[in-house]
């Protein structure tokens, strides 16, 4: 692509990015200017010469994606977005890292136009990029190159590649042969503690070649705009594998004091250092100086390039069929052609089995649905029956085998969801949520619509013992803001929970049983977070609240107590957070004020004091034994619930 900007405009663009990269952290007294200064030429080349993007339509579906995995260098992206006209202005840069600003310390999806994913924890953005590349290729294979043919660019640093998630994600990307994924490795050999050789001697190029990547060692060309453009366009033309461009850079360049120094990483330059560096760069020593004529030229160039590309695509998208439209804009479950699966009310079905039936029922209504698991496909229920495996040979497949890579799986799914056109559902054992917690947290922070299917939800796992028996995981996920955690009581609630998750505008964690569970509900408790599943003729003397398979235990305990004349209501509460959000009329109808409440859940009792006067749970690690034995010995039994119910009423003098 011919460069529409003059050499002087290119020079000033890079100079302005470097100046802003120093000014914003100096004003904030916080930030990371060194990497942004070194990568200023790369950012300018990407936005002005290489990437297809439209500042006036930042969400058009066939745009190239740019991810700053080394998100601490956020001022680099903000400066590029400012120059290219994405809505940021100098006042936004002056408010860098301040309350309510459009320029937070690390890029946040949905907060700043042009930011594709929320980055910061190192390596996450790299794995998100893998997910976006999978999404692009899958949609291209299914709907054609006119609708989908774009690239995913991601910058990474040494920290991204030290984090273990990068190994998992890079391995899968190489195996999938994602040739529209281009990663630029900022090889500056510096971390906060000092030179990278303090802690690492990996040969990154050899490592990525072993993963099956196309590796190009560019050398010390970080300031050569034409060489950078040539390398990026060559990577776009490469077929058969993802590309790693190893770019030797100098953090803090061209500072006379801190080039190649670890201090340039996370310590804002002082005013004198900024002045000295601006003298070297050749720009005025003024805070937030820009050449407005050059800024106008860059913006006009970006708008012209972007309008041509997005406008042409809009005409194609307008002719796209319903399947494509529903992939990008999934219909609400009320509009689905399929009904929720039904179950024999006398049956006993594990909720992990019920979710698989629910997934199958929805496949035609959700053409963007892609399901996968971390080597536990059949075990978790995260499976589309008869679906082709999504692979390099069959990118149109809708069943993705992630291998034993929980952490990368979570972040890849987030990338797929934020790319758009894909609804990812991913499964693993609940205890391994710990392996993917950073990705789950970022899914919540960025409101990525991912459905996490966590099975084997309690000590009912059995003989595998405490290493595989989740006890604290429920409480730990419930405290994540923006993550909807649903633990259905039975197959009926699972079917409703699946549909609710597909409708929810954000991530959902479905917590499912390994063991078979009696059907004790009609499923409707899911919609308000709680519902009455066994009631009394008159006012209840006691309410037992339960989640998951323990709802059946609670129903049985209520029956026993009823035989002795005690009126007991049973409430299933699959989602305490959703119930707490209901109005007071709904809450008081289900849990009337003044009636004692006993909760039953096979996990930590942390948090149950919000609803219950006493809580039966498991506040210790489990033990290796058959599941029913482990549950009984740890107090999840009809007999124990009956005894604790009577104790509670005695204690309260009722």
* Spatial CB neighbours of 597, under 8 Å, sequence gap ≥ 6: 542, 543, 544, 545, 591, 611, 612, 613, 614
The sheet carrying 542-546 orders its strands as 531-534, 568-572, 542-546, 597-600, 614-616
Q: Are 551 and 520 in contact (CB under 8 A)?
A: yes
Token couple for 289: 């100086």
From the candidates 406, 493, 550, 601, give the one annotated as an active-site residue: 406
Using DSSP, state whether 359 is helix, strand or coil.
helix
Phi-psi region of 408 (alpha: psi -120 to 50; beta: other; left: phi over 0): alpha
Strand runs (DSSP E) across 79-178, as ranges? 152-156
Token couple for 263: 């201090």
CA atoms within 13 A on the CB side of 216: 20
* Whole-number Å distance between alpha carbons of 342 and 333: 16
Is 639 a catalytic site residue? Answer: no
Judging by DSSP bridges, how do beta strands 531-534 and 568-572 pair with one another? Answer: antiparallel
* Spatial CB neighbours of 349, under 8 Å, sequence gap ≥ 6: 343, 490, 491, 516, 517, 519
Q: How far is CA 629 from CA 16, 70, 460, 465, 520, in A?
A: 68, 48, 8, 12, 22
The string of DSSP letters for 208-268 reads: HHHHT-EEEEEES-TT-HHHHHHHHHHHHH--SS-EEEEEE--TTTT-TTTTT-THHHHSP
User: Alpha helix locations (H) across 385-505?
Assistant: 406-419, 437-446, 473-478, 491-503
Q: Are 330 and 368 in contact (CB under 8 A)?
A: yes
Three-state SS sequence of 13-25: HHHHHHHHHHHHH
Q: Are 157 and 70 in contact (CB under 8 A)?
A: yes
Active site residues: 406
């Amino acid at each position: 692509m011919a460069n529409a900007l003059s050499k002087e405009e290119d020079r000033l663009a890079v100079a302005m990015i470097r100046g802003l990269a120093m000014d914003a952290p100096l004003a904030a007294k916080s930030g990371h200017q060194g990497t942004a200064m070194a990568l200023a030429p790369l950012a300018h080349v990407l936005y002005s010469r290489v990437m297809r993007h439209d500042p006036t339509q930042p969400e058009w579906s066939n745009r190239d994606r740019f991810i700053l995995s080394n998100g601490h260098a956020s001022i680099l992206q903000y400066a590029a977005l400012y120059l290219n006209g994405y809505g940021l202005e100098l006042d936004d840069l002056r408010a860098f890292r301040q309350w309510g600003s459009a320029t937070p310390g690390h890029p946040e999806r949905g907060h700043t136009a042009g930011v594709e994913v929320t980055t910061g924890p190192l390596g996450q953005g790299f794995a998100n990029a893998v997910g976006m590349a999978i999404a692009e290729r899958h949609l291209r294979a299914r709907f054609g190159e006119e609708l989908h043919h774009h690239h995913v660019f991601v910058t990474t640093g040494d920290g991204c590649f030290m984090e273990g998630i990068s190994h998992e994600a890079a391995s899968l990307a190489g195996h999938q042969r994602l040739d529209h994924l281009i990663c630029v490795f900022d090889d500056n050999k510096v971390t906060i503690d000092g030179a990278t050789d303090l802690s690492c001697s990996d040969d990154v190029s050899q490592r990525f070649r072993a993963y099956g990547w196309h590796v190009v060692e560019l050398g010390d060309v970080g300031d050569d705009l034409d060489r950078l453009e040539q390398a990026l366009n060559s990577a776009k033309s490469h077929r058969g594998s993802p590309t790693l461009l190893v770019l030797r850079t100098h953090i803090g360049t061209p500072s006379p004091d801190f080039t190649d120094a670890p201090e340039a990483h996370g310590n804002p330059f002082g005013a004198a250092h900024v002045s000295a560096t601006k003298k070297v760069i050749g720009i005025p020593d003024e805070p937030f100086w820009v050449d407005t004529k050059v800024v106008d030229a860059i913006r006009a160039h970006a708008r012209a390039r972007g309008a041509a590309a997005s406008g042409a695509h809009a005409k194609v998208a307008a002719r796209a069929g319903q399947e494509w439209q529903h992939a990008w804009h999934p219909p609400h479950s009320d509009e689905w052609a399929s009904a929720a699966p039904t179950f024999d009310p006398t049956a006993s079905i594990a909720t992990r089995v019920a979710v698989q039936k629910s997934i199958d029922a929805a496949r035609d209504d959700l053409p963007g649905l892609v399901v996968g698991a971390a080597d536990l496909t059949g075990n978790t229920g995260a499976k589309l029956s008869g679906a082709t495996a999504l692979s390099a040979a069959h990118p149109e497949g809708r069943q993705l085998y992630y291998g034993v890579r929980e952490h990368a799986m979570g972040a890849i799914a987030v990338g797929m969801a934020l790319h758009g056109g894909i609804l990812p559902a991913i499964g693993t054992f609940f205890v391994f949520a710990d392996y993917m917690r950073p990705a789950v947290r970022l899914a919540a922070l960025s409101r990525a619509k991912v459905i996490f299917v966590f099975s084997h939800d309690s000590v009912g796992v059995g003989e595998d013992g405490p290493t595989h028996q989740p006890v604290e995981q429920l409480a730990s996920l419930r405290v994540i803001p923006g993550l909807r955690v649903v633990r259905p009581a039975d197959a009926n609630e699972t079917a409703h929970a699946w549909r609710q998750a597909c409708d929810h505008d954000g991530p959902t964690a479905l917590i499912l049983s390994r063991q078979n569970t009696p059907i004790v509900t009609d499923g409707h408790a899911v919609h308000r977070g709680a519902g009455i599943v066994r009631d009394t003729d008159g006012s209840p003397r006691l309410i037992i609240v339960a989640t998951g398979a323990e709802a059946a235990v609670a129903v049985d305990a209520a029956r026993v107590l009823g035989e002795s004349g005690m009126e007991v209501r049973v409430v299933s509460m699959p989602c305490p957070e959703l119930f707490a959000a209901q109005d007071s009329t709904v809450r008081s109808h289900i849990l009337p004020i003044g009636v004692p409440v006993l909760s039953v859940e096979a996990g930590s009792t942390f948090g149950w004091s919000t609803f219950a006067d006493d809580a039966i749970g498991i506040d210790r690690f489990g033990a290796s034994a058959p599941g029913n034995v482990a549950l009984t010995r740890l107090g999840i039994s009809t007999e124990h619930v009956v005894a604790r119910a009577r104790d509670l009423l005695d204690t309260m003098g009722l």
